[in-house]
Chains A and B, each alone.
Chain A
Amino acid sequence: MRDELRDLYQEVILDHGRSPRNFRSLPNATCLAHGNNPICGDMLVVYLDLDKAGRIEDVAFQGQGCAISMASASMMTEVLKGKTLGEANKLFECFHDMCTRADFDPAKANGCDVDAMERLSMLSGVREFPIRVKCATLAWHTMQAAVKGEQEASTEGAP
């Protein structure tokens, strides 16, 4: 099997893809949004419970999609718990850079949560597969849409 494929489909990714964490709905979610990738038919819903200070108390998702989009959503829910919305947005920025830029270095990225990025780095293999970047970022775009009060996020047109 080719190396780039090994990097993309690491065992951790396959595991998250097969048994996604926080794969449930939050019945009283503070906010939620639907995300869809119209090209490949991936669809998911991201739910967020925020406390009064805007900290993420709980985050969960449901949906269906490829191994990359499911694993990314699953890992996102793990790293976002306990983060403020500002931290969550910053993390997305770093994650997006990681997925798209070969020279990305989390240690040098200003204000990135290094521990979280370490965990998310499992998805960095997607860099070699530009067409799959939108699979990895779908959950994050959807999270951002939920926070902004938008009901839908689409990867159409967005990397």
Chain B
Amino acid sequence: MNQKSSAVKIASGDNSTAAFDVERIRADFPILKQKVYGHPLVYLDNGASAQKPRAVIDAMSRAYETYYSNVHRGVHWTSQRSTEAFEASRGKVARFLNAASDNEIVFARGATEAINLVAAAWGRNNLNAGEEVVISHMEHHSNIVPWQMLRQEKGIVLKVVPIDDDGNFLLDEYRKMLGPRTRLVAVTHVSNALGTVVPVKDVIRLAHAKGALVLLDGCQAVPHMAVDVRALDVDFYVFSGHKLYGPTGIGILWGREDLLNAMPPYQGGGDMISSVTFAKTTFKKAPHRFEAGTPAIVEAIGLGAAVDYVQAIGFDAISAHEHGVLQYATGKLSGVEGLRIIGTARDKAAIVSFVVDGIHAHDLGTIVDRAGVAVRVGHHCAQPVMERFGVAATARASFGLYNTRAEVDALTDALDEARRFFGR
């Protein structure tokens, strides 16, 4: 440890509180025992995808090994069991978000598909040329491109809320952007590239005052904090399962039931119809209306197990632990010479993006990888953010509930090594 970092006040061993035993949590994640190039795996790429606890892996194996079948079809035992487990997961997600009803939970492939679903089913039928969709400067590409495609198709107007040099969402600028033509505000809850927590309550209140709906991209929020869609009074909320310690290929669109039932289907096929004749087909209500074809059954069951897992620990404990790691990481990284943190908003989730003078993020990523440290390098699917801060790429450490201060030390040690290597 260099002199600067030893000045950081929080002890690196101080990981656990009475409510949160991080070593016990770590034991739940088999992959964390893995060695990488002879070093313990230090997984700091949770923003891209989180690792899976034994409970999720086992729930999925158990489904395949003991009761797997297609859902909503068979009269046989396996189909009934699978349908029960699949629908039970829907219920778990509904309670996780404090939805008013299980019918408000639509299973999608991920947040990307969920946003595309809203753009296609709600946007195409409710937005007219000249009407406005408001996004922010720190959206993931998945909350930019679907609206640009709709702009191409419908002639809607896309407005972008600016951010300041710290990565704060500029609420006053946002307020000025809202007008009689604003129909939808689609913003991230937490920025994947900067860690900024957007003041979504104000965003929603101001949008509703103008009669606009609000969609929140919750991918980077749900792993870190409790989300209550009714307390937020939001209209659509989306997230991906794999960032919440669940499997890939499954994500959630939550929408107010009245909104969902007023939307036409997204895709046509089996399982979404009430009856089909060649003359006329009638559709089921939400959520099944939006779930054409065989869904990701076991993935949905795995997501249910992931939701159970984080809720058993509780977000008070998770947030407190992660906030401690974030503070520690911010302090330690600030002590690395030539390192600049990109994204220093007042309210942040456990994500730290940074650049180091004279060393490209890609080279940093390769060097720390050989020390067993996994960080994301690149533009994080948020190129407008990179442009805003005048960098082509950043390195990003994004923390999960199992990360420790010792792992932050492993990162900064590896960064010191990279600096020596590049003669910086």
Q: Using a CB–CB distance below 8 Å, which chain A residues touch chain B?
A: 1-2, 4-5, 8-9, 14, 18, 39-43, 64-68, 129, 131-132, 135
For chain B, residues 344 to 397, give those with C-beta under 8 angstroms from any C-beta of chain A: 358-363, 366-367, 370, 377-379, 383, 386, 392-393
- Known contacts A5-B370, A14-B423, A43 near B392 by CB under 8 Å: yes
Distance between Cα atoms of A39 and B392 in the complex (Å): 11
Most buried by B among A1, A43, A135: A1
Partner of B362, one of A1, A14, A135: A135
Most buried by B among A2, A4, A5, A8: A5
Residues of A within 8 A of B77 (CB): none
Distance between Cα atoms of A66 and B418 in the complex (Å): 13
Does chain A have a CB within 8 A of B278? no
B421 A9 Cβ-Cβ under 8 A: yes
Q: Shortest beta-carbon distance, A86 to chain B, in Å?
A: 32
- Known contacts A2-B370, A65-B392, A42 near B421 by CB under 8 Å: no
Distance between Cα atoms of A9 and B370 in the complex (Å): 13
Q: Shortest beta-carbon distance, A6 to chain B, in Å?
A: 9
Distance between Cα atoms of A129 and B365 in the complex (Å): 12
Residues of B within 8 A of A43 (CB): 392
Partner of B366, one of A14, A18, A39, A129: A129
Residues of B within 8 A of A42 (CB): 362, 392
- Known contacts A4-B370, A14-B423, A66 near B363 by CB under 8 Å: yes
A41 B392 Cβ-Cβ under 8 A: yes
- Known contacts A9-B421, A65-B360, A2 near B37 by CB under 8 Å: yes
A5 B421 Cβ-Cβ under 8 A: yes
Residues of B within 8 A of A1 (CB): 417, 420-421
B377 A40 Cβ-Cβ under 8 A: yes
Distance between Cα atoms of A57 and B361 in the complex (Å): 34
- Number of A-B pairs whose CB atoms are under 8 Å? 53
A8 B366 Cβ-Cβ under 8 A: yes
Q: Shortest beta-carbon distance, B389 to chain A, in Å?
A: 12
Partner of B392, one of A64, A68, A131: A64
Residues of B within 8 A of A4 (CB): 370
Chain A residue at smallest Cβ distance from B37: A2
Partner of B363, one of A39, A41, A67: A67
Partner of B378, one of A2, A40, A67: A40
Q: Shortest beta-carbon distance, B423 to chain A, in Å?
A: 7
Chain A residue at smallest Cβ distance from B422: A14
Residues of B within 8 A of A66 (CB): 360-363
Residues of B within 8 A of A40 (CB): 361-362, 377-379, 393
Extra pairs beyond A14-B422, A68-B362 (9, CB < 8 Å)? A2-B370, A8-B366, A9-B363, A39-B378, A40-B361, A41-B386, A41-B393, A66-B360, A135-B362
B378 A41 Cβ-Cβ under 8 A: yes
Distance between Cα atoms of A41 and B423 in the complex (Å): 24
Q: Shortest beta-carbon distance, A129 to chain B, in Å?
A: 6
- Can you show 15 pairs from A to B with CB atoms below 8 A apart? A1-B417, A1-B421, A2-B370, A5-B370, A5-B421, A14-B422, A14-B423, A39-B378, A41-B379, A41-B392, A41-B393, A42-B362, A65-B362, A65-B392, A67-B422
Chain B residue at smallest Cβ distance from A18: B358
Partner of B360, one of A5, A39, A67, A129: A67
Chain B residue at smallest Cβ distance from A135: B362
Q: Shortest beta-carbon distance, A36 to chain B, in Å?
A: 10
Residues of B within 8 A of A132 (CB): 362, 366
Residues of A within 8 A of B366 (CB): 5, 8, 129, 131-132
Q: Shortest beta-carbon distance, A101 to chain B, in Å?
A: 20
Residues of A within 8 A of B423 (CB): 14
Chain B residue at smallest Cβ distance from A14: B422
Chain A residue at smallest Cβ distance from B379: A41
